[in-house]
């Protein structure tokens, strides 16, 4: 990964191709690091879901014939 100092040095030395490559490399590394960190956080949430009692609550949707006409739904836990 290129450092900010290296990017500035390339710019001062009138080496635009190296500067661009170093800048893109630095940005790529930062973005990929952030994405990987986010993947870990999402995986932790999926593996350890938290619910009212520390576990996922199982819910069942109950629909009675007269409620279907009224578009009312009861959620039973």
pLDDT of residue 58: 46
Q: Is 41 helix (H, G, I), strand (E, B) or coil?
A: helix
pLDDT tens track for 9-67: 999 999 999 999 999 999 999 999 999 999 999 999 998 877 554 444 444 445 455 54
Backbone angles phi, psi at 76, to 5 degrees: -105, 135
Look at 38 and 68; give whichever has higher pLDDT: 38
pLDDT of residue 43: 92
């Amino acid at each position: 990964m290129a450092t900010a100092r290296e990017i500035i040095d390339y710019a001062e030395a009138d080496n635009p191709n190296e500067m661009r490559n170093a800048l893109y490399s630095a940005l790529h590394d930062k973005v990929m690091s952030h994405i990987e960190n986010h993947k870990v956080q999402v995986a932790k949430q999926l593996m350890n879901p938290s619910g009212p009692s520390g576990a996922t609550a199982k819910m069942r949707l109950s629909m009675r014939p007269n409620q279907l006409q009224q578009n009312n739904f009861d959620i039973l836990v």
